[in-house]
């Protein structure tokens, strides 16, 4: 049997475009004689559809898509993910399903059994878990069809009481197909490869895996669809961070399965920072494409954060679509202006210099009767940031651009940012990268030639909101801060465990309190492109007014 894996980017709710892409791929697979083409989880509607799934019309359009796709499945079969109505008398309204389409119709439906309900996943909100296990017979092969999480219960101390493959293996399948919507995170590629290989070895069956590619708001899907031998060896991978397809032959000889691929490309070690860069570029690109925008604007401060975001925006959108605005105040150093101009030249992007001193002073004059007899302090510092925010949003609004936010995860964590100021924007590009990771990524970007000016990477970080200000005036060294934050946010360690790891108890109490009392700010921040297993946003749900550790 000749099988094609089709790794495509889908747009949530864009049924016409998604259906057309699927049908086009089916026609291409027919041309090369494929017997079966496999698409990813919830391909018709995009993933995640979230509360769109609660609209009857949305579900009907998904079914209409399936029927349109099925009509093209003559002389070929297709596996397509889509929601379907639960016609049983009990349970949630929907199933997360994989449709098997052949002979111009729906010939089999497999429903997802294990519904993740952690981090960014919220599937049990919408879907009923499957309780019926049947293999699919097609062209003398028996297929164990599973959906994403259905293969992830193989770890020690499993999360779910049921393992779908433990049930399906009893029916003697020849191989496993898994369709998925598995988003990128910094450790996810290695974790995913381990899970797929473990399943192949445990059940002594080949695993055919198809994942989403693309980005949906804050989530980035990295692809990496693959073919896994029964011994656990990953025989071939599709591209990461790109649409791709691969076709191979599955041959049955004496009840054993042989996989024949052209130009097998066994997995190779991955560069951590190359993956992060590719993920962020894809996230920016598809955020703009799917919202129908082309132009980005951002404030360029002379610091490392805005420099990195400028570079990533140029890679995603093209340098002709990036507009950098320098907004110096009376506290801005000349070297910050010079460093920004050097970056502008390196990236060849349009820029403007708009001094804010007069605008800032007009705000001070307006507030003067209320601020009188008080020292210059945090309110005045924040007012500078808000002046910049007003100007940037005014330009973005006037010319139809998206303002890119340049806050990093270290700052977002401890509230080191100004609401309606430097926290403005339509998308937080690096809000899931700690400051130390940003420096490391910039050094990677500069590995062949200087793109981020060396002076930006060597000088002490500063918001430049008062004379001689440094980040270190308010925060511990970023190496210390980021390690502490990682334990609390990603590793979910409490204060006692963090202190046991060697951190000063007074510092631990201070930093954790800063994290907790600034949750209200993060609720008003732009969506953050997710790179870790615990990014700020829908995957980290803590109360604003909670008392824990505060």
Question: Would you say residue 529 lies in a domain?
Answer: no
Domain edge (last residue) among 455, 473, 491: 473
325 and 398 belong to one structural domain: yes
**More confident call, 104 vs 334:** 104
Q: Which domain holds residue 37?
A: 2-270
Which member of 45, 148, 226, 314 is catalytic? 148
- DSSP code for 166: H
Please report, for the domain that includes residue 185, its CATH number: 3.60.110.10
Question: Would you say residue 70 lies in a domain?
Answer: yes
243 and 307 belong to one structural domain: no
Question: What DSSP string runs through 383-430?
Answer: HHHHHHHHHHHHHHHHHTPEEEE---HHHHHHT-S-TTTTT-SSEESS
Domain edge (last residue) among 449, 473, 497: 473
Which member of 2, 21, 41, 381 is catalytic? 41
CB 488 within 8 A of CB 521: no
388 and 467 belong to one structural domain: yes
Q: Is 148 a catalytic residue?
A: yes
What local confidence, expressed as pLDDT, does residue 550 receive?
52
65 and 214 belong to one structural domain: yes
Can you tell me the distance from the alpha carbon of 409 to that of 441, in angstroms, rounded to the nearest whole number? 14
Which member of 2, 45, 73, 112 is catalytic? 112
CB 534 within 8 A of CB 119: yes
Question: Looking at the predicted structure, is the pLDDT value of residue 456 above 80?
Answer: yes
Q: How confident is the model at residue 266 (pLDDT cuts 50, 70, 90)?
A: low
Number of folded domains in the chain?
A: 2
CB 298 within 8 A of CB 404: yes
Question: CA 496 from chain center: how many Å?
Answer: 31
Q: What are phi and psi of 99, to 5 degrees?
A: -90, 130
Q: How confident is the model at residue 533 (pLDDT cuts 50, 70, 90)?
A: very high
Question: Would you say residue 244 lies in a domain?
Answer: yes
229 and 282 belong to one structural domain: no
Question: Would you say residue 492 lies in a domain?
Answer: no
What local confidence, expressed as pLDDT, does residue 158 receive?
82
Q: Is 41 a catalytic residue?
A: yes
Reported pTM: 0.95
Mean pLDDT check: name the lowest of 172-181, 435-444, 461-470: 461-470
256 and 281 belong to one structural domain: no
186 and 49 belong to one structural domain: yes
Question: Would you say residue 364 lies in a domain?
Answer: yes
Average pLDDT, the chain: 95
229 and 291 belong to one structural domain: no
256 and 370 belong to one structural domain: no
225 and 308 belong to one structural domain: no
Please report, for the domain that includes residue 395, its CATH number: 3.40.50.620
What local confidence, expressed as pLDDT, does residue 463 receive?
67
50 and 117 belong to one structural domain: yes
pLDDT exceeding 70 applies to what percent of the chain? 98
Give the list of residues 6+ apart from residue 212 with CB closer than 8 angstroms, or none.
Answer: 7, 8, 9, 10, 40, 41, 47, 180, 181, 182, 183, 221, 223
Can you tell me the distance from the alpha carbon of 257 to that of 229, in angstroms, rounded to the nearest whole number? 9
């Amino acid at each position: 049997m000749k099988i094609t894996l089709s790794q495509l980017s889908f747009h949530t709710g864009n049924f016409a475009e998604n259906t057309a892409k699927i049908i086009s791929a089916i026609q291409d697979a027919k041309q090369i004689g494929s017997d079966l083409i496999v698409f990813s989880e919830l391909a018709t509607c995009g993933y995640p559809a979230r509360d769109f799934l609660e609209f009857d019309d949305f579900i009907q359009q998904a079914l209409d898509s399936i029927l349109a796709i099925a009509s093209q499945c003559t002389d070929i079969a297709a596996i397509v993910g889509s929601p379907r109505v639960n016609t049983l008398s009990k349970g949630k309204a929907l199933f997360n399903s994989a449709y098997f389409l052949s002979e111009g119709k729906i010939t089999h439906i497999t429903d997802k059994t294990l519904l993740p309900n952690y981090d960014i996943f919220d599937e049990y909100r919408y879907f009923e878990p499957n309780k019926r296990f049947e293999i699919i017979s097609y062209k003398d092969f028996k297929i164990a069809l599973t959906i994403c999480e259905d293969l992830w219960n193989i770890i020690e101390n499993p999360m779910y009481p049921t393992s779908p493959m433990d049930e399906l293996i009893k029916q003697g399948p020849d191989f496993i197909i898994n369709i998925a919507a598995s988003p990128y995170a910094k450790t996810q590629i290695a974790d995913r490869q381990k899970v797929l290989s473990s399943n192949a070895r445990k059940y002594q069956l080949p695993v055919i895996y198809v994942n989403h590619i693309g980005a949906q708001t804050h989530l980035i899907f990295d692809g990496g669809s693959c073919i896994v031998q029964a011994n656990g060896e990953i025989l071939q991978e599709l591209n990461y961070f790109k649409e791709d397809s691969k076709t191979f032959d599955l041959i049955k000889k004496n009840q054993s399965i042989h996989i024949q691929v052209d130009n097998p490309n066994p997995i190779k070690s991955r560069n951590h920072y190359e993956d992060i860069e590719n993920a962020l570029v894809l996230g920016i690109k598809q955020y703009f494409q799917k919202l129908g925008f082309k132009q980005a604007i951002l404030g360029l401060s002379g610091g490392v954060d805005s420099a990195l975001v400028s570079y990533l925006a140029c890679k995603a959108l093209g340098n002709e679509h990036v507009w950098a605005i320098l907004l110096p105040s009376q506290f801005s150093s000349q070297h910050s202006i010079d460093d920004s101009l050097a970056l502008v030249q390196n990236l060849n992007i349009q820029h403007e210099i708009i001094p804010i001193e007069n605008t800032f002073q007009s705000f001070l004059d307006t507030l003067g009767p209320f601020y009188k007899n008080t020292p210059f302090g945090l309110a005045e510092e924040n007012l500078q940031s808000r002046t910049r925010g007003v100007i940037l949003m005014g330009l973005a609004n006037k010319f139809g651009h998206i303002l890119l936010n340049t806050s990093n995860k270290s700052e977002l964590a401890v509230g080191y940012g100004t609401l309606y100021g430097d926290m403005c924007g339509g998308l937080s590009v690096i809000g899931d990268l700690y400051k130390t990771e940003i420096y490391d990524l910039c050094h990677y970007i500069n590995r062949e030639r200087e793109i981020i000016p060396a002076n930006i990477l060597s000088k002490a970080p500063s918001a430049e909101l008062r004379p001689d200000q440094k980040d270190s005036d308010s925060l511990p060294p970023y190496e210390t801060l980021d390690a502490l934050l990682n334990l609390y946010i990603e590793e979910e360690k409490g204060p006692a465990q963090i202190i046991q790891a060697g951190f000063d108890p007074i510092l631990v109490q201070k930093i954790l309190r800063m994290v907790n009392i600034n949750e209200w700010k993060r609720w008003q921040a732009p969506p953050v492109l997710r790179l870790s297993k615990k990014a700020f946003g829908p995957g980290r749900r803590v109360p604003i007014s909670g008392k824990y550790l505060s």
